[in-house]
Amino acid sequence: MKVHHSLAAAVLASALILPTAAPALAAQHQAPRPPGIEKQDTLRWVAPNDLKIGTAVAGGGHHETQPYPAPFPNDREYLQHLAAEFSSVSPENQLKWEFVHPERDTYRFAEMDAIVEFAQENKQVVRGHTLFWHSQNPAWLEEGDFSKEELRAILKDHIQTVVGRYAGKIQQWDVANEIFNDNGTLRTTDNIWIRELGPEIIADAFRWAHEADPKAKLFFNDYGVESVNAKSNAYLELIPRLQAQGVPVDGFAIQGHLSTRYGFPGDLRTNLQRFDDLGLETAITEIDVRMDVAAGTQPTAAQLEKQASYYQRALDACIAVEECNSFTIWGFTDKYSWVPVFFSGEGEATVMWNDFTRKPAYYALQESLEQASPGRGNR
């Protein structure tokens, strides 16, 4: 087995935040922050202790085709805000199969190692994303001629190698990602694992992850499950059945890729509560709120107000549910958002503009976090 280490030293060296005040701040056990941003004026500071405020760490995927260096670790201003604002980080693409496992006998860990190191330096937790998915798999896997036994061994090796490498360093894992169609049926066509190995392989994925790191919390993660619907109902039925078989499922995560062209999912809190009632942890893991914005124009004040309302209502729903302990924005600046690359005519989906100035959505989140702090934890 070959592991890429050649980039690790350079990536780690440039990833760490080193503003002039950093040594003093570290000595005071405070997270570094950009010059001019007071600690008391960041999302992570105003949040209650029992709620992690996270973001995706931009890199891999669509970023590799864009006309800029990898945001992490090359954009220093980006790194400063990443450290200052968030208590949790998730790799946007750096742990997806095509990135971290580009050839059968090759793992590419340098970038993820750097993210973990960055998180440790800045007192952040890490969510792992993702181990079992139908998308962003490498060609060698999807086009390979493997027997069922070989394919099962490949999946087990991947899960235990990746989870084992970060045991004790990654607190939560999206083990199985997007396994259901919108109508609540399993993805038996486009998910290579379910198609070739049967539904039972889902339980094995959780078991293998648990063996590699017994302390990590293991989640299902999906989009389109914000509401009470066929897809979320399928998870509500599946998870207790797996748990009855001794499968270590700890949580259910809702992605939350929203658009202002559609109504807000008003039953989000009710839906989260259904899973909380099962004794599960819950999380909102990939939220963004895209808007219809024509090329060369800016969103209107009314659009920004609506976007802010969606972000705030989603956060309020999480805060209202006891075991919803993680709220992650899928990228915090429009400068690096995936949305305009994949949704033609839509964009401006994050809480900061390209220059890292704050949108109304940022202040809406800050307001809800400030209001929640007295009842949810001590600063």
Single-letter code of the amino acid located at 99: F
| Owner of token pair 């109508």 | 183
Using only C-alpha atoms, the chain has a radius of gyration, in whole angstroms, of 20
Gap between the terminal Cα atoms of the chain = 46
Q: What is the 3-state secondary structure (H, E, C) of 2-32?
A: EEECCCHHHHHHHHCCCCCCHHHHHHCCCCC
Question: Alpha helices of 173-332 — where are they, by DSSP H?
Answer: 192-197, 200-212, 230-244, 268-276, 301-319
356: left (phi over 0), alpha (psi -120 to 50) or beta: left
Triad 299, 303, 306: Cα angle to 5°: 150
Active site residues: 178, 286
Nearest to 293 by CA among 332, 331, 342, 349: 349
